[in-house]
Chains A and B, each alone.
Chain A
Amino acid sequence: MIDLLLALTLPLVALGVLLARELFRAVVMFIAFGLLMALVWVRLQAPDLALAEAAIGAGLTGVLLLDALGHLRQPHPPGQPLRSLLPLLTILALVLAGALGLVLLGALLEPLQPSVNLPAEVALHIEASGVAHPVTAVLLAFRAWDTLLEVAVILVAVVVGLALRFSHDDAAAESRVSSPLLQGMLSWLLPLMLLVALYLLWIGSYRSGGAFQAAAVMAAMLVLLRLSGQQLPGQNHPLLLRAGLVGGLGTFLLLGSVQLLQGGAFLAWPEQLAGAFILLVETALTFSLALLLYALFEASPAPARKGHPPRTGDQPS
């Protein structure tokens, strides 16, 4: 009953996101969609994903999108759609949709016959991985390569984002919330967020939680700090920031090659110390990923000053 209702709501909300006439409505619908996704992950027995989705879908993504909307003020019309191409595009979309639907239906009707029973494999080897939580074990022991490269991908995204940052600093023009109530609340909310992030990091070894969820919460804390107009300590030390950005990947690589020295494989943890190594890597990843996600938010230029419209300057009124 709950499942049917939720599963039915999901495409409806998606439809709402796509059909909303006004962009702001689409974005708020999308935030609601993220929250629904968190509930769906709960019902799919994936609390780790629910945690990540709650922090990212309901927290970070919403802020990023609202922030971007505030920036694209005096919206320029995207122009008249290509009327001549529209029927063609619609047909293309319909054909694509139909084909995908057929493929999915086929996949459902013909159940997978996997040659390896993955859950059984995970259960078999989890003893040796050094952690008790299967998802963490997969992330940092069985498929550590994937995780390593994922962090590298995010680092590349941040490098691109930072490279595109505006050279002129109009941070002064940034509109910030100045409310005594907000400041007062943040003085205990932010430490609490940090605490929760560390808690998530710690319990990741035996329960749902871990580096990614902790990093998302920590990044949300940094973003909130920024939104309320506070300066980050060390913000003006680019070297410090960069060290933080690559710190996670560096620690991962460094600890991963420890076994190489003794003739082992890359990213194989020493048997006795596997748990400690994983915790170390996760801690470094948490702080580093939080900084990376925050840097992507920060890389977005501040909204233009009032009366200083974008360079082309021919905004419609």
Chain B
Amino acid sequence: MMLIDLLRALLLLSGALFFLVGTLGILRFPDTPSRIHALTKVDNLGLGLIVLGLLPGVEHWPVAIKMILIWLLAIAASALAGHLVVRVCREFRPSNAGEQQDD
């Protein structure tokens, strides 16, 4: 039992830290594409870790499914947001088109 609690605490805290770091990334990175990079990291990892940390505490399995669904939704949303915003950046700043390779 102790081990599980320790693991949960670790997951939750590192998830929260990821959020903080990702937000800092959004604050400190120089241009929009690299900020998108920071954003997607936060969504995927930070929220994922928090969901993982919370999962052992839920009482019914449908709740667990709901939480995983929330995580998947957040990932999809951030990916789509990054994709759309990058497209916009490219469209309006052709000089930057070469910087972003992965979409």
Contacts and interface: CB of A to CB of B under 8 A. Distances in A.
Interface of A: 177, 179, 181-182, 185, 189, 192
A182 B84 contact: yes
B88 to A, nearest CB: 10
A185 B84 contact: no
Contacts of B87: 179
Contacts of B80: 181-182, 185
Interface in B58-96: 73, 76, 80, 83-84, 87
A202 to B, nearest CB: 14
Interface residues of B, number: 6
B76 A179 contact: no
Contacts of A177: 84
Nearest to A188: B76
B50 to A, nearest CB: 16
Contacts of A185: 76, 80
A189 B72 CA distance: 11
A181 B82 CA distance: 11
13 contacts: A177-B84, A179-B83, A179-B84, A179-B87, A181-B80, A181-B83, A182-B80, A182-B83, A182-B84, A185-B76, A185-B80, A189-B76, A192-B73
A179 B73 CA distance: 18
A192 to B, nearest CB: 8
| Pairs of residues from A and B, 10 with the lowest C-beta to C-beta distance, nearest first | A181-B83, A185-B80, A185-B76, A181-B80, A182-B80, A179-B84, A179-B87, A177-B84, A179-B83, A182-B84
B81 to A, nearest CB: 10
A185 B83 CA distance: 12
User: Which residue of A179, A181, A182, A192 has the most chain B CB atoms within 10 A of its CB atom?
Assistant: A181
